[in-house]
Every structure is written in structure tokens, then in C-alpha cells.
Amino acid sequence: MPRYVRIDPEEFTLLQPKVFFLSIIVMTMIVLLFQSNIDKDSLIEFSKNNVVENSFCLSSFNVTKTFGFHNYTEYLRGELPLIIAVPHGGHILPKDLPDLTNWYSEDYIRFNDVNTQELARVVAQQLMIEFGGREVYMVINHLNQRKVDVNRPYEQGTKPNIDSPMESSESQLAWKSYHEFLRNAVDEVEARFGRGLVIDFHGHAHQEEYIEVGYLLPADLLALPVHTLNTNSSIHNSSSIRSLYYRMFDSQITFTSLIRADVLSLGGRLQMLGYHTVPSQAHHYPTINESYLHDGGGGYSVRTYGSSDGGKVDAVQLEIPKKFRIGMEASHRFVVDLADGIGWFFKTYYWGRIEW
């Protein structure tokens, strides 16, 4: 019997509930196993108590950890074509660095995405366990967003005021350092694996409390009719998963399936795990009064490192609601589910060996 069979999308759809059901049972077992000896109330506690130990026991690969200018950027070289970037979870606020103002935009509030660094690290550990000790790549900015915004173009992200001189500043060196690491990771992943995925890890405080998934497609575009979304190639080409779309083209997976079908998209998977996600089968697009990613479906990093301009590395901006980052619902169960969602998407399209 052939090990990997060609499955047409219809069949795949029928097949998936079984697989999904099974994985739910397995996940539940894992959750029960873990919860018996893990403090689930505090994410930070969790990461302090467990991650280092797990990493020590399970990682069989040599992960190189490197720091950039003034240790403001941390870079972990992984063993999987998955790169997790954390631009807004930094804790360092040097007094001698001027605060950025919002000279380029009136309505933009400059807040850190609280606990995204901690959450991303724990998700990365969970993924490492799932992928047999292989680590994901990580690029972490340690400076607070008030000092540098690495998800903005160079000038906006580093110039404190509109008339600040553009002479070399620490913010600029930190910005360059972060993007050198990220560029390096993307190029290396493409060279080593021939494809790859960047997850740009963010947090939001929108009242809908959906997980927001950004593919560089603004809300009004996501709201276009299905037929338009599936046939207009300038839409596909402007998305940060353009490369994935064309890789899947022959398997007749439609563009809308890739971004919001229950068994084929990241949003669909997270929605099935019980977390309201947009886009997904439950929320095809943000409705007129719902908040969705500030920058038209994704910021500077997904624009720069995703495949909209070509290349074989895709990018997704993932926005985690506040309630899953702070407080009672920021639990180990959420970490496991989020890692399951990301791991499933990654395995299906970037790592798994299913022949579509």
C-alpha cells in the first residue's frame, strides 16, 4: 500500500473529522497529563518552572542562541522551517533612549503586547516537544515598543519625532539588528528547506476577543464574494501566503479554503479548538464594526518576509486577544491549543509529507 496517497480536497474534508477527533482525544490526554503537575494559573510561572527543564531533557539538537546589538535582539537558530518572531514583547526601557511619538499616525496607541514573549516561548517549547526535539527559529526583540517599533518601517519605527535627526541612534541599531536576524532566518530556512513559515506574534485588546490571523488582506477585501476571492489573482498575489497558494494550486484547494475553511486553514483549526478566530469558518471576515489588524491585514514584517513579493517563505500575523495573555484564561490549555493550531498548520503545509 502506498504510504502517501493523493487525496482530493472533497475526500480530505470527509477524512478530517476522524483525524480531528482522534487528535482531540490525544490532546486531551496530553492536557490531563500536563495539568496534573503544572501550575496553570500563571503563564510566566509556567514558563519559569517548566520550560527550561523540558528543553534540557528533550532537545537533541544544538540550538545556537545569539544576541544582537546591546542584547536587544535574541536569535535562536532552529531545526524546523518555522520562524516565530516577537516584535512587541520586550521588557527593556533604557532611560537614555527617547520615547517614540506617533508623528506618522494620529490614532495609533503605543503599547507593548503584554506577555507575547512569554507566550511565544512556551508555544515554541510545546512545538519542540511535538516535533521530536526540533526547535523552531525565534527572533525576539527585547526593547519595549516605546523605544523601538520593529514592526514599522525603519524611519517610523526608530525616529522619536518628525524632526529628529536621522543620525545613528541605539533604536536604529536595535531595529537593524532585529531585521538582520529575521532576514537571515528567512533566507536560511528557504535555502535549507525550500519553503517555510514566519509567525509574527502579536497581541490585541479588541473587544470582540477573536484571535486575528493576518495574511496582508484588509477587512474590506476579505469581505468580497467567495468567487472573487477565489478567482482574482492579484488578491492571491498580494497575500503573505502567496507561495503556499501556488504550491497547493494543483490540488484544487481554493484560496478561501486556505484562509478560512474548517479543516484546511489555521483560523479553521483554532475555531474548531473552541477559540473564535477571524478569518475562519465561523467568521469569514471582520464585519463592518469589528476591529481587525491595524495595518490592512498585516504590518511591516509580514509584508517584508512573507511571499507577496515572491520567495518561498510565507508569513502570518497572529494577534492574540488580551484575555488569553493576561488573567484566568491565559492557561496552559490555551498554550497547548495554540501550539496545536500552529503545529497542525505547519505540519500540513510545510513539514508533513502528505502528497496533495
Ligand X SMILES: *[C@@H]1O[C@H](CO)[C@@H](O)[C@H](O)[C@H]1NC(C)=O
Residues lying near ligand X in the complex (CB under 6 A) are found at: 61-62, 67, 70-71, 221, 232-235, 237, 246, 287-289
- Sheet arrangement for strand 277-278: 64-67, 73-77, 137-141, 82-86, 196-204, 313-321, 211-214, 277-278
CA distance 18 to 21: 5
Shortest distance, position 229 Cβ to ligand X, whole Å: 9
CA angle 220, 245, 131 (to 5 degrees): 110
* 232 vs 291 by CB, closer to ligand X: 232
For residue 350 the three cell numbers come to 510545510
Continuous H helices in 194-346: 219-222, 226-231, 233-238, 242-248, 255-260, 266-272, 300-305, 332-346
The residue assigned the cell 527617547 is 98
Shortest distance, position 155 Cβ to ligand X, whole Å: 25
CA distance 301 to 295: 11
The residue assigned the cell 464585519 is 287
Do 260 and 267 contact (CB within 8 A), yes or no?
A: yes
* 31 vs 219 by CB, closer to ligand X: 219
Shortest distance, position 147 Cβ to ligand X, whole Å: 15
- Bridge-based pairing of strands 137-141 and 73-77 is antiparallel
* 68 vs 343 by CB, closer to ligand X: 68
* 168 vs 234 by CB, closer to ligand X: 234
Shortest distance, position 66 Cβ to ligand X, whole Å: 11
Shortest distance, position 224 Cβ to ligand X, whole Å: 8
Stated as kind and residue range, the H or E segment containing 209 is: none
CA distance 266 to 260: 7
Pick from 107, 143, 153, 118: nearest CA to 42: 118
Pick from 64, 13, 5: nearest CA to 268: 13
Shortest distance, position 302 Cβ to ligand X, whole Å: 18
Shortest distance, position 289 Cβ to ligand X, whole Å: 4
* 16 vs 307 by CB, closer to ligand X: 307
Q: Which residues pair with 267 in a beta bridge?
A: none
Shortest distance, position 335 Cβ to ligand X, whole Å: 26
* 199 vs 235 by CB, closer to ligand X: 235
* 40 vs 284 by CB, closer to ligand X: 284
CA distance 88 to 72: 12
Between the alpha carbon of residue 269 and those of residues 99, 109, 233, 308, the distances in Å are: 39, 31, 25, 23
* 55 vs 237 by CB, closer to ligand X: 237
* 37 vs 289 by CB, closer to ligand X: 289
Shortest distance, position 287 Cβ to ligand X, whole Å: 6
